[in-house]
Amino acid sequence: MLDALYNQLIKAAINQNQRIGADCRKICNSTNIPFGDRKLNIRWVKIPTFIKENKPSHYAVFLVDIPYWRKGELKAIYKQCIETIDNHDIDSYTIFLVGHLYGYFDPLLNKPMKNYKTFIINKEKIDKKERALIINFICKFIEHRIRLLKDTDKIFGGVQQDIERLQYFVETFTPMRVITCAHAYEPSKIKRTIKSTSNVSFNISHITREGGNNEG
């Protein structure tokens, strides 16, 4: 499912780049990195956001999975992810980490999102529920960027084209944003806080196999 989502994001990113006449050759990458006795699978896609001085800025989406990980390894996982991407044209990013967490992590502190912009899904593999959760996160981020532009008094020309292009991106994923299992992620357990134009952080109470306590 994670590979399928990666391919869908690549297709959408290619469409976005074609609309602005940008190079599509360096918008994605997939690599396996040895990590102790495991392998860290890192995939990323650069989604063009807004054109500034004739150059597009990007929102980078990382889709990462590992069989299991420990709390003390999060910093190393984050570092490995960031080292795989050229960040000169990135204005924001989110790492979606899929894999069993060994040990207890206090979900109320939510340090992964605050310090590492890492959204943790404590499962070996994702299904349609988690896919919808990831897509919702991405689309809400893009929608927030659109709202910020619409709140200004300068909606014309290239800015209007950027808005229409990004709205098309969001609409492309609309059918996949529905979480089919109502009890899996209760809305009250996910509180969204938008801090700036380049950062969306979530307070995630429980992201687990059954939606219960986050225990590995």
At 177 the pLDDT is 81
pLDDT exceeds cutoff 70 at 209? no
Residue 214 lies in a domain: no
Domain assignment of residue 213, yes or no: no
Q: Does residue 119 lie within any of the structural domains?
A: yes
Please report whether residue 29 resides in a domain. Answer: yes
Look at the chain and report how many structural domains it folds into: 1
User: Is 210 inside a domain boundary?
Assistant: no
The CA distance from 11 to 194, in Å, is 27
* Residue 211 forms part of a structural domain: no
Residue 169 sits in which domain range? 2-204
**Residue 36 region, left (φ>0) first, then alpha (ψ -120 to 50), else beta?**
left
The amino acid at 65: D
pLDDT of residue 109: 65
Entry pTM: 0.80
| Model pLDDT for residues 183-204, shown as the tens digit of each residue | 344 333 333 332 333 333 333 3
